[in-house]
Amino acid sequence: MEAPLSPRESGKFIAENSKDVFIEEEGVKKVAEMLYAERGCEVFTAQGWKQMNPLAPVCMSDDAVNWVFVVDTLNFSFWSDKDDEQCLVTYKDKTYSGYMSLCAAISRAMDEGIPITEASYFANMALDDLKHVLRSDNNVPMPMIKERHQALTEAGKVLLEHDGSFLKFIRKGGNSAEKMIKLIVETIPSYRDEATFEGKKVAFYKRAQILVADFWGILEARGEASIPDIGYLTMFADYRVPQALVYLGALRYSSELMKTLKEGVILASGDRQEVEIRGCSIWCVERIREQLWDIAEQREGCKLEHVNSAVIDFYLWPYAKEHHVEMAHIPIHHTRSIYY
C-alpha cells in the first residue's frame, strides 16, 4: 500500500493544486514581520507548550507525561452545534469550554482519585465511566463521547504492551520526531489522520504531531535530551489557525468557499475543500517560517531556527482565541472528526 506524503509534502502538494484556498505572499510577509517583532517571546520556545496546557501537572512529574497522552488522545471536536450551548467544566472555581474543558475534566478526575492517566484503567474503562469523567456542568455533553471512548481504550491497550508506560512506548521512536510520528500513526488508529487528494494519499497527523510537540516541551522543561529533528513537525492543521491566517491576510478563501462556510455547511472529513483548508494552512505556515528565517538572516545574520513551524502554531492558536471577536466575520470551517 502506498505510503502517504508527509504532512509537509502534503501541504505543498495541496497548495499547488488547490481550487478554493490560496496562499497570499504579501500576507505571508506581513505575518513573518509580526512574528519577527515578537521573536523574544516565551511562546517561541518549547516551554510554550505549558501555555497551551496551563492545567497540566508540573512538568517534572511523570503524571505530566501520562496526562499529556490521555489529553492528546481525546483532543478532537470540541465545537458546539450552537454557540450558546457549549460543554462547560468547572475546575478549581474556574469554568472552561472547548479544549480547555477536556483539560479541566482530566485534572478534576485525578483530584477525585480516578486513575484516568493509568493505562491499566483507561484501556478497559466503561463508556459510562468516561461519561462521568468528562461530565459537563450543564446539559451539553462533550461531543463524540463514543468515539472518544474507543480512541482512549484502543490507545490504552497499546500502552499495556509497553508496561502501561507512554515513555516506554514513545522511546521506540528513538530520539526522532519523524520516527515518533510514524510509530504513533502506525500503532494507534485514531491518530491516523490521512485523506486522498488529486489521486494522492496525503497526511496531516495533527494530533500525533501535538503529542510529539508536547513530549518535546516536557523534555525541554526538565532539561533532558531534546529531539534534534523537532523541525520535522509542521503546524497542527485544525479549524482555528486557518481562521487566523485568513484574518491576517496570509490565506484567502474563494468566494464560493466563503459562501459555503458562512451558510454553516459542515464539511465532511476528507472533503476536497476541507483538505484544501488544512493542507494550505500547513504550507502557509511553512512559507511564513521561511520568510521569518530570511528576515532574521538579512538583519541579524542568523536564521532563528528555534522558531520552527510547531512554535509558530503555539503562537497562532492562542492569537486566534484572543482575537476571536475581531475575527468573527471570518467563518470557521466545521468538520465533525476524530482528527481535530
Q: For residues 12 and 50, which has the higher predicted lDDT (pLDDT)?
A: 12
pLDDT given at position 65: 87
State pLDDT tens for residues 38-71: 887 777 766 655 556 678 777 666 778 889 999 9
Which of 53-57, 166-170, 182-186, 258-262 has the weakest average pLDDT? 53-57
pLDDT over 70 percentage in the chain: 95
The shares of helix, strand and coil residues in the chain, as percent rounded to the nearest 5, are: 55, 5, 40
Using alpha carbons, select from 225, 227, 250, 228 the residue that is nearest to residue 312.
Answer: 250
Query: Does 100 have pLDDT greater than 60?
Result: yes
Entry pTM: 0.93
Task: Please give the average per-residue pLDDT across 211-232, as a whole number.
Answer: 86
State pLDDT tens for residues 117-150: 999 999 999 999 999 999 999 989 999 999 999 9
- Decide if 249 contacts 30 (C-beta within 8 A): yes
- Decide if 318 contacts 43 (C-beta within 8 A): yes
pLDDT given at position 218: 83
98 exposure class (CB count in 10 Å sphere: 0-12, 13-18, 19+): middle
pLDDT given at position 44: 74
| H or E segment and range at residue 179 | helix 177-187
* Grid coordinates given for 240: 482555528
Which residue numbers are catalytic? 238
Query: Which distant-in-sequence residues (6+ apart) come within 8 Å of 40 by Cβ?
Result: none
| H or E segment and range at residue 23 | strand 21-23
State pLDDT tens for residues 269-308: 999 999 999 999 999 999 999 999 999 999 998 888 889 9
